[in-house]
Amino acid sequence: MSGEIHLKADLAPSSRTKAVPKELSTPFFYAPSDDGTDENLLVFLHGLGDTHLPFAKLGRQLKLPQTAVLALQAPEKIPFLYEEAYQWYTSFDPLGELIERPNPSAAIDLLSDVLKHLIEVCSWPSDKIHLFGFAQGGTVALELAIQFWKNQINAKSSKSSSLSLGSIVTISGPLLSYPTLPTPSPTPILAVYRPPPADPSLSGGDLTALKKGFNTVKEVKLQSRGPGMPSSKDEWEPIMRFWSERLSRRQVDGVYEVMSGLGPR
């Protein structure tokens, strides 16, 4: 298999660079595309007990062509821990036990505000905004996409494909809700997970819920043993392949861009 992945062409005119996000209501890291053309935005959402910094590093290492990077930190610090460990929504009860049915509403409201800022202030088209979330970060990415699509349906503008998000890669992050939509969201989903008993993972019910909420869901099952995140070139390859099909490419001075890497270095 060739190590180069060709991105789909998009000849629609747009500004080569986008405004830097400002005044977001949570800590973040932003970097424009290394090649000077901000055609896509890849937003990273970390998992439970982490910060945005490792995912900021990951985003820079990927060096995806014409793709800016935004890594967001979850708003809630996990109580009773000395280290910097954050959660997107309250995950533990007062006894320290995991809550079986957590409520992500506050996180979805925060991310909806971020999305509005990116679209209205930074001039990102919604279908050029792509999300990558690990575990709890994948969950809030999916819930955000469902809420975003519901808003489009309520506004009677669901016929416009440009009002979907570009794509979502969720690493072992399920939906918490079970979607009941008149039409599924057109945002393409790549669900990557290690099979149980790996934790985190995705169950058959989790995958059914995804297919209920989204038109296009691709499933990638990693080896059962290993860390939660993809950890090798082979495990990153289907993610890079998915992005090669979804990320847009703007022709610049007759140069045809390719993705030559297959994972973080």
Read off the pTM: 0.88
Domain count, the chain: 1
Residue 205 maps to a domain: yes
Q: Is residue 264 part of a domain?
A: no
User: CATH code at 167?
Assistant: 3.40.50.1820
Answer whether residue 144 is part of any domain: yes
Q: Is residue 265 part of a domain?
A: no
**Domain extent at residue 158:** 5-259
Q: Is position 193 within any domain?
A: yes
Residues in the chain: 265
- Is residue 62 situated within a structural domain? yes
265 residues of the chain, pLDDT tens digit each = 444 555 554 444 456 889 999 889 999 999 999 999 999 999 999 999 999 999 999 999 999 999 999 999 999 999 888 899 999 999 998 888 889 899 999 999 999 999 999 999 999 999 999 999 999 999 999 999 999 999 988 886 544 445 789 999 999 999 999 988 899 999 999 999 999 888 889 999 999 999 999 999 999 999 887 778 998 999 999 999 999 999 998 876 544 444 444 456 4
Asked if residue 131 belongs to a domain, the reply is yes
CB contact at 8 A, 259 and 231: no
Q: Residue 170 burial by CB count (10 A; 0-12/13-18/19+): exposed, middle or buried?
A: buried
Residue 215 within any structural domain of the chain: yes
* Burial state string for 60-96 with b = 16 or more CB within 10 A and e = fewer than 16: eebbbbbbbbbbbbbbeebeeeeeeebbbbebeeeee
CA-based nearest residue to 64, from 100, 38, 27:
38
Q: 67 phi and psi, to 5 degrees? A: -130, 115
